[in-house]
Structure 1
């Protein structure tokens, strides 16, 4: 029978419930258990797909095309496992399902209520995510006491009664603030948070204490007594240099004992490889500087997966990744050289909208002309085609119809036009209520023989990467591009997936998002190769 670990948070948000959940999952996975994870978001949005990156950070895309919270990306990166749409759901999805079922007569005319109907829907989704796993770790977004979280708390309470109590565990992540003026750590906020949790009907079995200061033994004992938790189940969680240190810190804190005792099983993780990779992150032998060109630099959570993908590559190459954050709008004002400087490589990330595009084009031209290693992702690939058409092929009005709907040379066009022209029916597209069609989720591609893409991925044939975009490279320009030295090095059912420049040491653009499949233990091949090229010594 699957064992369930529910992770809740108290006092305030952004305490690191996601990293706590992923770290516990990692420990269990490295102990030989089949582990999966579930993120429950109490907001009413159906998913974060239409939310601003300034509001919510990055949208993480699963292999089956679900647009999810960025915590799902952390889960995959920690447990080195592909998750799906069933590993994340929101209040919006729950109510959408309940109302749809009611409209179709699924409740046989009954009055629909939060208890039992909404709670039952939540439980069904939790049980569905648990199938074929030894453990399911469930993170509930928000904090204890939030009104929107109450139906989920009731579902957690009910599951404990439906199953053997030893098959469920409640872990509460809470803040132990240090009051500088008093010179003391204060436990009262956590005590009140646990009291609220118990008032709802949930008693935590473990307390994970986020703190900036080391917790004295006496304070841990006070927390254990006041919160009715075993002394060895009060786990300190201080700040870490790297999020990947957290599982190792938890093991040092003695988390294995309360987990083993509660579930009555032996938990003995093999963290040797993990420990080596973490050491490479903290004390690397080499270092490189990547010019990261984007427009959401005031909120770097918008590029969370890509930043982590670079860290993964650095860990495997024993190389520190220094990121030179290059605001594309600043490049428009002062030029690429002033902003990019002596960076070892240039990365142009994905994005939507016209703002900052000219600066990205300048950065691409700078990397191309100065033979600097370049990786363009999604929009970064599309703009590399636009730049090449304008400055090498001499098509001065080449553009994407995202930025100029009436351009006479639409080298980048809407995916709808590809579908109309090709009759292709195998695309997993998503029609947004806002009117746009997107290519979402995992698709196969085959690298061109002898290409840099093949050198990175290998010669095994077909590979899979994830997408999230509305626009595609127009294949009508493929012949002209290749005649001028830009080759199409990856394709998927007629769609252009990757381009390279023949006479450049390493210039690659990919339509997919390689960062979505990069994990600490298995870095993405094209990001790994990009960092290798950046680290090449003259």
Structure 2
């Protein structure tokens, strides 16, 4: 699936095909070929490229992989995205580590293209019959052309191909079409005639399933689609949710959170209006002006020092005004800091990521916290972290087991699947936990070894929760996550109760 222009149509089409096949119990592989020269997508600026999506096995991938995974009933692996930079980097590293180099120099046509081909073929070792390959960006770019050459090298005798092009002219010229079964064309004229994407490809999917998989079409349901627009539906029940973050100029930086939020609202027939608040400029003097009309607040993840104090101000406002709040990753760490400062009297409490010499380092490097544990706790934790630390350079990355505590909101929402996506190298400094707990901070979720707190709540508040992990990365367009459902329904119930009290007066 490719295009001669940069557009989001390709991902929408990929998600449609994958979702339709999944709905009919046909499992697929997905591969996003990204022409970027970047190697570590998790280090890119979210305000520029959007979020990095974390897979169950620790991959930091293109956000489009998240869209595909939310369209499916099963997770995708870290093999599901390959950038041009990663391919080049792997080839260069292989050459540098080779003791017996069998070629004089590396070339794009031979070694780079062949590496891409081998990466695609590596999926064939698994049992799935269909693979959806999306070539990102534009195929008029050099990176796109390299991917097109790799795709054209796939042996037509070993697999059947369907190429989907958005504006076919340059796409047709870029790929040798001699052995292709089908071409599907989406151009401006067809869009102007009001033709829907699903109408165009239903016949082709029909042919694919019946011809290649030998499945009777009477047994296949073609009505399912993930391309409808449920998020645009309006309901009588409405709430306003504030996203207090650093990257609000690009909502794609919080794509998984927004999708999880909208899905939960949709299933509960609640309309959501979003209010993006730049944490850089939020302070005690203007917090009431910015947040007084919102019904709920989300403090998302992020990196660096910019805007942290604004987020802490928003967390304090949510806690004291009893506004439903959900903190995620960095939002969790800042919730710990806010509580330590304003409830426990630990003036100057901070994270060592920002202030290594602070008086109360309530958030510290994960590695330092593990080294500070003693006895059996230390042995179990260090054994658990050893592989993760060596593999991910001191980070908890990917699916990790969590232990929700009975009687908490977390136990209601995470008890079915006790694995959650993590992406962090800092954690709660357990040396200070006793003081936090004595003042009312509840340990709602512990890590796999029950040594480090990864989720907190407080009493006497309708919904004040924060988690070190990312529940949004395991969200699903077809079934909302309970934590987001409780978040939106609690916000609406409080608003409804407030409205009724106002009417009585």
With the shorter chain as reference, the TM-score category is 0.7 to 0.9
Which residue is 1:38 aligned to? 31
CA distance in 2, matches of 1:168, 1:312: 34
CA distance in 1, matches of 2:99, 2:154: 23
Which residue is 1:413 aligned to? 364
Match of 1:373 among 306, 317, 324: 324
- Structure 2 residue 9 is the aligned partner of structure 1 residue 16: yes
Which residue is 1:426 aligned to? 384
**Aligned 8 A contact 2:264 2:484 in 1:** yes
CA distance in 1, matches of 2:110, 2:48: 33
Shift of 1:149: 2.6
Which residue is 1:78 aligned to? 71
**Aligned 8 A contact 2:20 2:225 in 1:** no
Shift of 1:334: 4.3
Which residue is 1:491 aligned to? 446
Report which stretch shifted further, 102-111 or 369-378: 102-111
Which residue is 2:501 aligned to? none
Q: Provide TM-score, normalisation by structure 1.
A: 0.82
- Structure 2 residue 80 is the aligned partner of structure 1 residue 87: yes
**Aligned 8 A contact 1:197 1:203 in 2:** no
Shift of 1:291: 1.4
Which residue is 2:138 aligned to? 143
Match of 2:471 among 514, 525, 530: 514
Which residue is 1:226 aligned to? none
Q: Secondary structure at the match of 1:426?
A: helix
**Aligned 8 A contact 2:20 2:224 in 1:** no
Report which stretch shifted further, 509-518 or 208-217: 208-217
Q: Secondary structure at the match of 1:490?
A: strand
**Aligned 8 A contact 1:58 1:302 in 2:** yes
> For residues 240-264 of structure 1, what are the alpha-carbon distances to aligned partners after superposition, in whole Å with 9 as ceiling and x for unaligned?
xxxxxxx5x667x755445457646
Q: Give the gaps of 5 or more residues in structure 1.
A: 1-6, 175-189, 218-234, 238-246
- Structure 2 residue 340 is the aligned partner of structure 1 residue 389: yes
Shift of 1:486: 0.7
Shift of 1:364: 0.8
**Aligned 8 A contact 1:86 1:128 in 2:** no
- Structure 2 residue 39 is the aligned partner of structure 1 residue 54: no
Counterparts in 2 of 1:77-116, with a 5 A limit?
77-105=70-98, 109-111=102-104, 112-116=106-110
**Aligned 8 A contact 1:373 1:507 in 2:** yes
- Structure 2 residue 186 is the aligned partner of structure 1 residue 209: yes
CA distance in 2, matches of 1:278, 1:269: 23
- Structure 2 residue 149 is the aligned partner of structure 1 residue 154: yes
Which residue is 2:274 aligned to? 323
> For residues 301-357 of structure 1, what are the alpha-carbon distances to aligned partners after superposition, in whole Å with 9 as ceiling and x for unaligned?
111111111012112212222212122123227422111122111111111111111
Q: Secondary structure at the match of 2:36?
A: coil
Q: Secondary structure at the match of 2:156?
A: helix
**Aligned 8 A contact 2:15 2:226 in 1:** no
Q: Secondary structure at the match of 1:79?
A: coil
Cα distance change, pair 30–333 in 1 and its aligned pair in 2 (3 A): same
Shift of 1:207: 3.0
**Aligned 8 A contact 1:293 1:328 in 2:** yes
CA distance in 1, matches of 2:470, 2:331: 10
Shift of 1:147: 1.4
Counterparts in 2 of 1:5-404, with a 5 A limit?
7-10=1-4, 12-105=5-98, 109-111=102-104, 112-130=106-124, 131-164=126-159, 167-174=160-167, 190-191=168-169, 193-198=170-175, 205-209=182-186, 211=188, 214-216=191-193, 236-237=196-197, 254-260=203-209, 263=212, 265-266=215-216, 269-270=220-221, 279=230, 282-332=233-283, 334-404=285-355
CA distance in 2, matches of 1:25, 1:315: 22
Cα distance change, pair 47–80 in 1 and its aligned pair in 2 (3 A): farther
CA distance in 2, matches of 1:280, 1:149: 32
Shift of 1:485: 0.8
Report which stretch shifted further, 271-280 or 289-298: 271-280
Shift of 1:62: 0.6
**Aligned 8 A contact 2:326 2:465 in 1:** yes
Cα distance change, pair 154–136 in 1 and its aligned pair in 2 (3 A): same
**Aligned 8 A contact 1:335 1:362 in 2:** no
Report which stretch shifted further, 487-496 or 121-130: 121-130
Shift of 1:523: 2.2
> For residues 332-391 of structure 1, what are the alpha-carbon distances to aligned partners after superposition, in whole Å with 9 as ceiling and x for unaligned?
274221111221111111111111111111111111111111111111111111111111
> For residues 255-288 of structure 1, what are the alpha-carbon distances to aligned partners after superposition, in whole Å with 9 as ceiling and x for unaligned?
5445457646545654778689965862445222
Q: Give the gaps of 5 or more residues in structure 2.
A: 498-505
Shift of 1:31: 2.3
**Aligned 8 A contact 1:145 1:196 in 2:** no
Shift of 1:59: 0.7
Q: Provide TM-score, normalisation by structure 2.
A: 0.87
CA distance in 1, matches of 2:39, 2:285: 42
**Aligned 8 A contact 1:63 1:442 in 2:** yes
Q: Secondary structure at the match of 2:306?
A: coil
Which residue is 1:3 aligned to? none
Q: Secondary structure at the match of 2:19?
A: helix
Q: Secondary structure at the match of 2:399?
A: strand
Cα distance change, pair 163–399 in 1 and its aligned pair in 2 (3 A): same
Kindly report the root-mean-square deviation, in angstroms, between the aligned alpha carbons of the 2 structures.
Answer: 2.9
Q: Secondary structure at the match of 1:311?
A: helix
Cα distance change, pair 316–521 in 1 and its aligned pair in 2 (3 A): same
Which residue is 1:503 aligned to? 460
Shift of 1:16: 2.1
CA distance in 2, matches of 1:432, 1:284: 47
